[in-house]
A and B are shown apart, each in its own frame.
Chain A
Amino acid sequence: MDQYLPLVVMFVLAVGFVVLSLLTSKLLAPDRPTQAKQAPYECGIVPTREPARRFPVRFYLVAMIFIVFDIEIIFLFPWAVVHRELGAFGLWAIVAFIVPFFLSFLWEIAEGGLDWGPLARSRSLGVLTGPERATAPSVRVVGLEGRLAARPEGRATVAVGASSGGDAGGVGH
């Protein structure tokens, strides 16, 4: 356990550094809050919309996929340290571990689970310039799965990422 003591000392020093900096600032800096100062940043205009509470579910998926990879890496580390003692058996074991993993990774890619870009191929500007543009509600589309069927006929949802700003324009589906 002794080997970790310097880390504790460094931790104390680092926390002390932050505390001291913040404390100095608290003592020396003015504190005159106004409503305008405390409002969320909006490039100078009055904020009109609540900050987004929803963002693309893809971000959660990435975290979930990462957990699988992380577990794999955790298993690889002990093998890497003792791989010479384990010899060929260890190598075949790790190959047997990685092959199914890699196949499921391929399946996931083929399913589009790791696709991020805009649907470039299906882009057409017709809907943006046509009469629908004005009547369509500007509901932001967070995820497309399961939404296409549920929508009432004739009410096309147009999310103009560039002008409505707000959400993760271009990051989503």
Chain B
Amino acid sequence: MTGDPLFADGFDWVVLAILVAKAVIGFTIVVVGVIFMIWFERKVVADMQNRIGPNRAGRWGLGQTLADGIKLIFKEDLKPDRADKPVFRLAPYLSVVPAFLTFTIVPIGGVFTGGNDGGVELFGRRTWMQVADPPVGVLFLLAMSSIAVYGIMLAGWSSGSKYPLLGSVRATAQMVSYEAALGLSVVAVVLLSGSLSTHDIVAAQAGSIFDWNVIATAAVPFVVFCVAATAELNRPPFDLVEAEQELVGGFHTEYSSIRFGMFYLAEFMNTITMSAIIVTLFLGGPAGPVLFGPPLIWGTLWFTLKLLVFLFIFVWLRATLPRYRYDQLMDLGWKRLIPLSLGWLLVIGAISIGRDAGWNRPLTLVGAFSLGVISWAALIGAMRVAKLRRGGDEFGELSTATERVG
């Protein structure tokens, strides 16, 4: 399988029409999705805090996001005089465009069981139910999340104000740190699927629930990915980027009008996309039992249901958990998640190769895990050494000479 079969037999106007139609549909899904996601988050958080939440604009307040958007369009767009104007204008683009682009690689449906390859017929052409299936697939996801860092960093830097600058510096360090953990947990998925394409990753999980990567990789990369994804999204409990109590609004403090709205949209688009990516990589995407009727509908239905579960969890986290402290955040990323996902990756690789080479399975497992325990012990030891040095002689004079109250 190499990519979308839409382009297999030449390129003509029908292909172009299908391609554009798919892109427009994907675009619409993201825009409509984000409108409902913002409403959903506000409503659920309100319920959890014993409030009513938005209830004026439209039935159950469903039109609230739209009303907010229209309001923002009519607001004055302030540009601070200290701002670096071209970069200040560029930053919202760098935030929104990657948010749209990431969604293109998510398969939102299709039948993968019973010899089907997940394709659908459109005007006599076969195509996947995803906007694009680039061969680099997952790498594209990582690339886009890297570019989103630029949006936030440049927004804060170009504002010429202290709170946005601090927010963006924090954001950059945080997103860059967790990207390593994110990448390493994705490698575990790629290892099992043998392909970078999201379509192939979903196809590899199509069998039973035991083929889903969350079970096939024994849950650890899944957990690491979810934590790292929450940090990448700058969502609570990792929302230090816009910690209201310390940094006003974080990187978008100086933004107003619809320019601010763009960052707001991008944030929620990224939440939807990241949930969709979690479902795709670890939970089989559209995989699920077909109960009755056409199987095509069930694929999309299962995908949507799984997506909603993750969207709810993201909102739930926000309503439940207090914010992390910055050093806790960095410690979790660098000293826990990265070594854990790296070690787990090697164990999965050893098991996979051992199965092909006919190694003694229990022996492989025991060997791999004892090596893992030794490495982890070494890691704890290294952290103890660092702690002793901090409190020990090297900085001993600090307590009288220099003091920093954090």
Question: A residues engaging B (CB < 8 A)?
Answer: 2-7, 9-11, 13-15, 17-18, 21-22, 24-26, 28-33, 35, 37-41, 43, 49, 51-52, 55, 58-59, 62-63, 65-66, 69-70, 73, 76-77, 79-84, 87-88, 90-91, 94-95, 98, 102, 105-107, 109-112, 114-119, 121-124, 126-128, 141, 144, 148, 151, 156-162, 166-173
Contacts and interface: CB of A to CB of B under 8 A. Distances in A.
Nearest to A171: B326
26 contacts: A2-B4, A6-B132, A11-B100, A14-B96, A14-B97, A22-B92, A25-B259, A30-B76, A33-B78, A40-B160, A51-B82, A58-B173, A63-B173, A80-B345, A81-B196, A88-B353, A91-B349, A95-B346, A111-B389, A114-B386, A116-B331, A122-B391, A127-B403, A156-B400, A156-B401, A172-B404
A124 B397 CA distance: 11
B352 to A, nearest CB: 7
B248 A62 contact: no
Contacts of A35: 81
B405 A73 contact: no
B57 to A, nearest CB: 19
Main SS at interface, chain B: helix
B330 A116 contact: yes
Interface stretch (B15-23, B108-116, B202-210, B309-317): B15-23
Interface residues of B, number: 113
B282 interface: no
B406 A170 contact: yes
B405 A118 contact: yes
A94 B7 contact: no
B190 A77 contact: yes
Contacts of B92: 18, 22
Contacts of B100: 10-11, 13-14, 17
A140 to B, nearest CB: 9
Nearest to B400: A127
Contacts, number: 313
B395 A40 contact: no
Given A25-B257, A33-B78, 17 more contacts: A2-B7, A10-B132, A18-B262, A21-B261, A37-B76, A41-B253, A43-B248, A63-B173, A66-B176, A69-B338, A73-B183, A82-B194, A87-B357, A118-B327, A121-B391, A148-B402, A161-B405
Contact of A84 (B246, B352, B389): B352
Nearest to B16: A5
Contacts of A33: 76, 78-79
B93 A25 contact: no
